[in-house]
């Protein structure tokens, strides 16, 4: 692996010829000539299409904006200039799924100008990789365009061929916490991104966006057939976005690959389309595993509220710190540590205090005790959606965290149907969407405040991930999907296919704090729908640089053999490979530890057992590894026999092919210890 | 790799308890406990079911026979005995896709006896592997069962879950030469085997049979929903099969895997269910490539018939022999070499003489000339379905072949709608199905006669392959599907998806004489729907131990760079791996030469371009190879730019991952030369 950087300005491809009829005015191909994006003008209206090996993937799809207080920006357009360039760079991540990321794309910048007054201009910037593309609008500074109020973005995505979609609904209050639906594309109503489809021809396509900054999140509303339109999350004012030129939109991204495995890998383009690190040295953030006073709250054996069942007590926390120190976990999350939980806090977080602990939680002593044992408390800032209230305290809160060595904070945005609460200048409260423009800016403010104090953020009930971790590497993780907590009390609970759906949808966008590792396999009155071995596999499959071991210490004590894998598995990777998989069916990951020569494998399946052949070609050639195998035992089954489990060991090399036998609802985890 | 043989008699699992209601009376699991087969009796009727990881794959399906002149053999049955055993053996093929084949299965033999007169008995013998199973009926010698005339086999296959099927129709006169249809299982009418399905849950299943000897071929007739019944090809007498006890049926086979790639590999079980080699030393058969006077006949630039355009002339054949010698081809097929082609021979082959050449074809001189240059003529026996007529001559014909060094013969059974002609004792002619009992025995007679003279058989318009090449290793190849000839004149021609369908259907049954390598990409007035590179990939993808380079010598002379791959690629393999693929979409094979340390890769796609990542883990670790890459050129497309082609070379090791870019309708072929 070597780093290189190469930017070349290519000659302009040719001057466009203007006619009244449909005409391709600009075109850019991916470096390997796999994908091509063409821009067309038909009677002054602009459209794009995407071709793969010469065949249409996205048919002619409109571009433009509907504006408030101004004419639509979509008619009477002509190409006024275009440039292309080629870019090939390999850059290093401070932490991540892979240490190095290659950014190899060709870029087209095409400027379109209205041929009649007010003669406004905008650029369409397209970057096309061999495995996907992104495009965005850029509105340059210009005489007749200053404040821009976007009522609707007119961007379309017209899928060229029939396909099956995996999707969750957008435009409902409950953020992203749904089970994924699998339907023909024609049955999608309005979906969040990433939305993933598999065409009847076997092509895998994911629709998403990159670098969502000071803008509204994009939903995909199906307008007819297989045609979708960008539907921006509204602002409380009624419009969608308000900006002043110059500005640019987020990148609208398409990942396009033959296999599901390649689709996952193509997510690198989301990072590549984000700006480089703006925080400088972030070595103060240490990817790590944590435990916490958390699962007990979901089991209702302890409570956030103070009183007899209060979980966040000094004594209880000390027990967790001891357990963390003994078993090598760096973090101990404590929820319910601060005042505000005793009343009806749900969607009403005005009582929360983020700089003061409850009387039974000696935060000063506990922080010191933790630090003395090499452990750090993990902070918790549940806003319950009183977001302006939280913003008033956050600077002081992060300062306190930093002083106490609490270098990561889990934030929370549990709202009722009203949404995010934003206090206006006149003291009244407006309600905003989680993924509206205002809240995207809120997250930005949190990140920047936290960064000033060298605190990492793990947001729950967040805005979706659009790769901003590249620019702000202290935004290390988030929730943004149905996590393990739904296995505690969800109705329905998370079914066996849930994680295999997540991998090829939600996980395309970035790390998730799924909180795996419930080895007791027991929620609140309901069983967890996985085998024991699958809980281990989740540590390799679901990437998270702050990875939780979510079960109770006393439960781990009953499963020490399996727990060993959770103790061993790292949270930071030098390399990631998806070896095999099908959306919603099964998946196998191999990842190399960033701090050793060891490799890890995680494989998991839905409600069907699988027999998979896995060549170990990812291992270093010529090296022998001890494979510590944690697998489903004979007869294991998520329903009847979830605890059937076996651990075995063998010597392997890169020339070996392993047979993985995954039980129904099962999985397998392997540590390859380099010799 | 080592050989071992281990047979163990396991204790009988337990005595069955008889009740009047549904009851599982016998059960056998695969060695890795992946599959289980259960036999049930419900009120005296017998059924089986197949489970995978505890979930049903085949729901309760009937077993039994409808007999002529006797009561149905399917009621009032009770289990009278059962035994199980375990078998693990690795055996060596004289030639094949892999040198060694592992046969690892558990076997159940269950005897069922009528509880009332005539108290007939039969055995159900089940062998279950981790990736599939076979079962057959055995009718032992017994007092009340001597001659058995089977009107119908009642065997059912009730697919448990919704699925898509790839299939061709059975019960029509035109044998197997259809384009594969892809439909929901519920739209199959009556299909030939192998029929392949993929369930909505991602399971891949192929239905076929093994060791079809002295029996009628099995079609699959859908009776309702996803339930199929064995429909045996009829005999001219009206019944299906006539045998005397003791006898057994062919194996009814199910291959069951998670991936398409594994489905292909699971075909080993077809061979494993056939009897070992009965011919002894067959080292006289040499897997090889051949050219021939053949494509010109399909282009109609030369003719089978004598006269001005006669292809099989001494002079023309000499030219082919010279070309073969120069470029390292062992065989030269000459069609039209014998009398019988000048009249209306189609479906009327009574004029064919198999022991005498046409006057313009000096077979003695040509054989000698060929042998002197290390080349062998390949014989041709087109019967045009006058099969009894052919049988009268075949012993003498094979004797002549042997004398002349013609050690392989392509046979042919081009019939009209009447079918195979069988002369009865009274001199009249009965018409039989290609896959009826009589013709299955005809093929057996040909094989045995040929073997006596050390001649290998490559049958066109044959009965389907059921793995008999294990028992009779001189049955080296056959057609039995739409081959390249349809690209010459087929209406419709073979579409770009054709070969990707074949791989996971027809090719599961065994080698096919597809006759690839038409580098001119031109049929009779119609273009061939592949790129140039795809023609090369076919040599690795479509296995055939007698592999043709089917184009004209003068066409190869125009494509010498690409032709080099055809010259290099072997026809016999030490090892085969299917690296990746989806039915009807794309597939990538790696195969190791049996006579060197070189590996070969072939990858091809349907009408859609593909970008595939291929880890080279099949290569020997620690060794460097020169990869000679034959790929689609920039902008290649089967329709617009089929000749765009590039050859390049690089050094690789097993640690490398290659990116294959396949054009729409394209492919790639690579030789890895061991250093």
pLDDT tens per residue across span B416-466: 888 999 999 999 999 999 999 999 999 999 999 999 999 999 999 999 999
Spatial distance between the Cα atoms of B674 and B626, rounded to a whole number of angstroms = 7
pTM: 0.92
Pairing of strands B667-674, B625-632: antiparallel
Residue B586 forms contact with A (CB below 8 Å)? yes
**Antiparallel, parallel or unpaired: β A408-412 and A376-382:** parallel
Of the candidates B650, B639, B642, B649, the residue with the CA atom closest to the CA atom of residue B667: B642
The arrangement of strands across the sheet holding A65-67 comes to A65-67, A147-153, A241-244
What SS3 class is residue A60? strand
- Flag if A202 and B585 touch (Cβ within 8 Å): yes
Mean of pLDDT values over B549-555? 98
Query: What pLDDT score does B577 carry?
Result: 97
- H or E segment to which residue B392 belongs: helix B387-403
User: Nearest by CB to B262, which of A202, A609, A613?
Assistant: A613
The answer to whether the CB atoms of A653 and B608 lie below 8 A apart is: no
> What pLDDT, on the 0 to 100 scale, is given for residue A144?
87
Is there a contact between B559 and B537 (Cβ–Cβ < 8 Å)? no
- Selection from A287, A273, A282, A251 nearest residue A447 by Cα: A282
- The pair of structure tokens assigned to B175 is 């044998």
**Does B256 lie at the interface with A, CB-CB under 8 angstroms?**
no
Strand B218-224 vs strand B190-191: parallel, antiparallel, or unpaired?
A: antiparallel
Whole-number Å distance between alpha carbons of B477 and B462: 10
A54 touching B, CB under 8 A? yes
Q: Best mutation site among A131, A258, A586, A615 for testing chain B: the one with the most B CBs within 10 Å?
A: A258
Beta strands in B450-518 (DSSP E): 456-459, 475-478
Who among A258, A580, A606 is closest to B612 (CB)? A258
| Half-sphere exposure (Cβ direction) of A2: Cα atoms closer than 13 Å | 3
Cα-Cα-Cα-Cα dihedral sign, residues B296, B298, B304, B305: negative
> What letter would DSSP give residue A234?
P
List the beta bridge partners of residue B7. B87
Does residue B7 register a pLDDT over 60? no
- Within 8 A of A262 by CB-CB distance, chain B residues are 611-613
- What the block records as the tokens of A327 is 């078993």
**Torsion angle, CA of B398/B402/B405/B411, rounded to 10 degrees?**
20
Q: How many CB pairs under 8 A join A and B?
A: 124
What is the C-alpha separation between A207 and A158, in angstroms, rounded? 11
| Res. B174 pLDDT band, cuts 50 70 90 | low
A609/B54 Cβ within 8 A: yes
Task: With CA atoms as reference, report the closest residue to B266 among B196, B336, B352.
Answer: B196
Residues 169-208 of B with CB under 8 A from A: 201-203
Residue B515 has pLDDT above 90, yes or no: yes
**Measured between alpha carbons, how far is A158 from A167 in angstroms, rounded to an integer?**
16
CB-CB neighbours of B55 under 10 Å: 16
User: Which residues does chain A have with pLDDT short of 70?
Assistant: 1-20, 174
Domains delineated in chain A = 23-273 (2.70.98.10), 276-480 (3.20.20.70), 484-674 (3.20.20.70)
- 3-class DSSP assignment, residue B295: helix
Q: Do the Cβ atoms of B654 and A617 come within 8 Å?
A: yes
Contact A585 B202 (CB under 8 A): yes
Q: Name chain B contacts of A607, Cβ cutoff 8 Å.
A: 55
Between the CA of residue B590 and those of A84, A416, B100, B541, what are the distances in Å?
A: 39, 57, 16, 8
CA distance A360 to A343: 17
The closest alpha carbon to B612, from A659, A580, A610, belongs to A580
Which member of B53, B262, B655 has the closest CB to residue A664? B53
d(CA A207, CA A196): 6
* CA–CA gap between residue A77 and residue A116 (Å, rounded): 9
B3 or B80, greater pLDDT:
B80
Q: How far apart are CA A30 and CA B528, in angstroms?
A: 28
Query: Could B586 and A661 be called an inter-chain contact, meaning their C-beta atoms sit closer than 8 Å?
Result: no
- pLDDT higher than 60, residue B16: no
Instruction: Tell me: pLDDT of B14 over 80.
Output: no
- B554: three-class secondary structure by DSSP: helix
The position carrying tokens 């090369």 is B536
The tokens 């103070």 sit on which residue? A306
ipTM of the complex in this document: 0.88
Q: What is the mean pLDDT of chain B?
A: 95
Q: What is the pLDDT of residue B348?
A: 85
Residue B217 C-alpha, separation from nearest chain A C-alpha, in angstroms: 31
Q: What is the tens place of the pLDDT at every residue in B49-69?
A: 999 999 999 999 999 999 999
Residue ranges of B 259-288 with Cβ closer than 8 A to chain A: 259, 261-262, 265
Q: Which of B89, B130, B93 is nearest to B2 (CA)?
A: B89
Pairing of strands A35-42, B573-582: unpaired
Determine which of B617, B619, B640 to mutate to test the interface with A (most A C-beta atoms within 10 Å).
B617
Q: Give mean pLDDT, residues B469-476.
A: 98
What is the C-alpha separation between B411 and A592, in angstroms, rounded? 56
Q: Note whether B613 contacts A: Cβ–Cβ < 8 A.
A: yes
* pLDDT at residue A622, rounded to an integer: 86
SS3 A450: helix
Catalytic residues of A: 485
Whether pLDDT at B333 is above 70: yes
The Cα–Cα gap between A367 and A377 comes to 6
Averaged pLDDT for residues B647-666: 97
- Average pLDDT estimate for B565-592: 97
Separation of CA B453 from chain center: 24
Q: Are A635 and B33 in contact (CB < 8 Å)? A: yes
User: Which helix or strand (DSSP H or E) is residue A669 part of?
Assistant: strand A667-674
Residues 6+ apart with CB under 8 A from B644: B531, B532, B632, B633, B634, B635, B636, B637, B663
CB of A131 within 8 Å of a chain B CB? The answer is yes
Say if residue B54 is exposed, middle or buried (CB neighbours under 10 Å; 0-12, 13-18, 19+): middle
pLDDT of residue B643: 98
> What radius of gyration do chain A's Cα atoms show?
25
8-state DSSP, B72: -
DSSP B500: H
């Amino acid at each position: 692996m070597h780093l290189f950087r190469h930017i070349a300005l290519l000659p302009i491809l040719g001057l466009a010829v203007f006619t009244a009829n449909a005409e391709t005015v600009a075109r850019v191909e991916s470096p390997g000539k796999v994908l091509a994006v063409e821009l067309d003008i038909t009677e002054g209206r602009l459209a794009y299409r995407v071709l793969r090996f010469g065949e249409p993937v996205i048919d002619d799809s409109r571009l433009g904006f509907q504006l408030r207080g101004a004419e639509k920006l979509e008619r009477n357009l002509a190409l006024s200039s275009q440039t292309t360039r080629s870019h090939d760079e390999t850059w290093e991540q401070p932490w991540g799924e892979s240490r190095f990321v290659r950014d190899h794309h060709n870029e087209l910048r095409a400027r379109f100008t209205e041929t009649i007054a007010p003669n406004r201009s905008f650029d369409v910037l397209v970057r096309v990789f061999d495995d996907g593309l992104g495009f965005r609008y850029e509105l340059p500074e210009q005489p007749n365009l200053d404040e821009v109020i976007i009522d609707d973005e007119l961007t379309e995505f017209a899928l060229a061929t029939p396909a099956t979609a995996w999707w969750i609904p957008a435009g409902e209050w409950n953020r992203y916490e749904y089970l994924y639906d699998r339907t023909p594309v024609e049955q999608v109503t309005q979906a969040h991104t990433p939305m993933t489809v598999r065409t009847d021809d076997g092509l895998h396509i994911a629709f998403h966006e990159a670098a969502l900054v000071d803008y509204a999140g994009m939903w995909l509303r199906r307008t007819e057939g297989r045609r979708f339109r960008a539907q921006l999350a509204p602002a409380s004012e009624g419009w969608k976005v308000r900006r002043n030129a110059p500005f640019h939109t987020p990148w609208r991204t398409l990942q396009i690959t033959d296999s599901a495995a390649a689709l996952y890998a193509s997510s690198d383009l989301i990072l590549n389309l984000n700006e480089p690190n703006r925080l400088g040295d972030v070595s103060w953030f240490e990817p790590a595993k944590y435990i916490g006073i958390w699962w007990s709250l979901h089991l209702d054996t302890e409570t956030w509220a103070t009183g007899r069942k209060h979980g966040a007590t000094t004594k209880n926390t000390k027990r967790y710190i001891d357990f963390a120190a003994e078993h090598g976990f760096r973090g101990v999350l404590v929820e319910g540590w601060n005042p505000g939980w005793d009343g009806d806090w749900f969607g009403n977080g005005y009582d929360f205090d983020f700089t003061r602990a409850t009387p039974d939680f000696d935060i000063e002593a506990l922080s010191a005790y933790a630090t003395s044992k090499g452990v750090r408390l993990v902070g918790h800032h549940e806003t319950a959606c009183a977001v302006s209230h939280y913003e008033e305290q956050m600077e002081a809160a992060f300062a306190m965290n930093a002083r106490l060595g609490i270098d990561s904070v889990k934030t929370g945005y549990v709202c009722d149907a009203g949404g995010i609460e934003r206090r206006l200048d006149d003291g009244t409260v407006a309600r905003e969407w989680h993924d509206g423009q205002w809240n995207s800016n809120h997250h930005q403010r949190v990140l920047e405040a936290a960064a000033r104090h060298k605190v990492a953020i793990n947001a729950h009930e967040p805005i979706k991930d659009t790769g901003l971790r590249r620019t702000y590497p202290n935004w290390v993780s988030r929730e943004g999907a149905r996590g393990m907590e739904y296995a505690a009390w969800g109705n329905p609970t998370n079914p066996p296919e849930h994680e295999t759906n997540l991998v090829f949808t939600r996980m395309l966008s970035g790390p998730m704090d799924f909180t795996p590792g419930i080895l007791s396999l027991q929620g609140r009155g309901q069983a967890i729908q996985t085998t024991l071995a699958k809980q281990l596999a989740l540590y390799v499959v679901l990437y998270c640089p702050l990875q939780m071991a979510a079960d109770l210490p006393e439960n781990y004590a009953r499963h020490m053999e399996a727990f060993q894998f959770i103790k061993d598995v790292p949270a930071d990777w030098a390399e990631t490979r998806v070896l095999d998989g099908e959306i919603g069916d099964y998946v196998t990951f191999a990842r190399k530890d960033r701090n050793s020569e060891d490799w890890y494998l995680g494989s998991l399946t839905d409600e069907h057992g699988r027999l998979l052949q896995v060549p170990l070609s990812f291992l270093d050639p010529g090296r022998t590894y001890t494979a510590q195998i944690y697998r489903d035992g004979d007869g294991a089954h998520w329903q009847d026999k979830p605890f059937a489990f076996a651990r075995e060991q063998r010597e392997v090399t890169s020339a070996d092919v392993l047979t993985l036998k995954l039980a129904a609802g099962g999985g397998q985890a392997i540590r390859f210890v380099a010799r």
